[in-house]
Structure 1
Amino acid sequence: MHLVKMQRGTFEAFSDERLGWACMEPVFMLIRGKRPEIKAEVIGQLSRAQKALCMFRVFYDHGHKSEAEYYTWLSHMLDMPGYWDGVQEALSFFGDSEMMQLLQDTKDMLELRNNRLGRRWSEAAFKDLEQDTGLAGEITVYYDRIQSVSVKSLAAIAAYIRAYPEQFVELTA
């Protein structure tokens, strides 16, 4: 279990969005740019709560900045073994059924498109949104939803971390 050392005042001052990231930053430093088996090994050493937070942050941090990033990262997660299930388990752990449904709705829409066009998840690219206005319009609708739903997700996760800090941090004076 990787506990982050953090001063109590710093912990209490973090916004909902920053708190989860701060609790996972050391883990991200261990896995960023590493091979999938190293990532799996590090994530496998986390507690259930830490793994849930990690998987949510992997999804959120990669997919919330733009429609193109949301589309390509979601497709990437579906292409990489364990990522989609890990994010779904994370959302279930935090009781985030609204985000789970939103991601499932997006996945269903993209699966239909991929099946219709004979495409694989690994073929998703930023340019798809420029070349397919129908896809761009649909992704924009889901992306707009994720912007509002993620605020609730971040608040719920931060509330969990604040209720159970010992699962994530070692607080110092």
Structure 2
Amino acid sequence: MGVYRADDPTNPGKDFTVKSKVYEQLTLGQRALLMFWVLYGHAHSTAEFYWFVSYYISELKVWPEIKSGIQYFGDDAMYRIYKEIEGVVKARNQEIRGKRRKDTVIDLDDNSELFATVDRLYKLYPKIAPETIKRISTYIRNNPDEFVLLED
């Protein structure tokens, strides 16, 4: 396989079909772990948190997998944050008469109430994440066969 730049449209890492096929080959635990990192690895500010959750809900349609991943590890605190931000994004994405709209980061600049709600949730997110990571790490240590294949 050749070397690809991240912004190269021919990069197989950009191909959602390829990603889906790889995802299907993962164990449930590997999927849950991946879905946690998909958000955690991208959401480093209030704006990023809002935009990525909106993107995962509206565009990529992977939000149900992200939520079920955190449930897989039994993390009720993080799941509550996921559910609340999901409610905010879905409510915001509905316009008068049910027309769909897409969120943008600019929405946070234009709506102080929306910003306050998302900012409150984002501030909780990194406070809870270390416990989430500990929970996941413990699960992996207790179930290594679900995450790695050791061969002689």
TM-score by length of 2: 0.80
Distance 1:95 1:32, change over 3 A: farther
Counterpart for residue 99 of structure 1: 78
Percent identity, aligned pairs only, is 29
**Counterpart selection for 2:19 from 24, 33, 39:** 39
Deviations, residues 1-42 of structure 1 (Å, cap 9, x unaligned): xxxxxxxxxxxxxxxxxxxxxxxxxxxxxx984221111111
Counterpart for residue 5 of structure 2: none
Which residues of structure 1 form unaligned runs of 5+? 1-30
Matches within 5 A, 1:104-123: 104-116=83-95, 118-120=99-101, 123=102
Counterpart for residue 8 of structure 2: none
Counterpart for residue 139 of structure 1: 118
Output the amino acid matched with 1:152: E
Deviations, residues 68-109 of structure 1 (Å, cap 9, x unaligned): 110000001111454111111111110112211111111112
**Relative contact order: is structure 1 or structure 2 higher (C-alpha 8 Å, sep ≥ 6)?**
1
TM-score by length of 1: 0.71
- Indicate the SS of the match to 1:152: helix
Aligned residues: 139
Q: 1:103 & 1:95 partners in 2: Cα distance? A: 13
Counterpart for residue 20 of structure 1: none
Shift of 1:171: 6.4
Tell whether 2:54 aligns with 1:75.
yes
Counterpart for residue 88 of structure 1: 67
Moved more, 111-120 or 36-45: 111-120
Shift of 1:59: 1.7
Q: 1:74 & 1:80 partners in 2: Cα distance? A: 10
Q: Which runs of 4+ in 1 moved over 3 A?
A: 116-119, 169-172
Counterpart for residue 160 of structure 1: 139
Q: 1:42 & 1:171 partners in 2: Cα distance? A: 20
Output the amino acid matched with 1:169: V
- Indicate the SS of the match to 1:62: coil
Tell whether 2:33 aligns with 1:50.
no
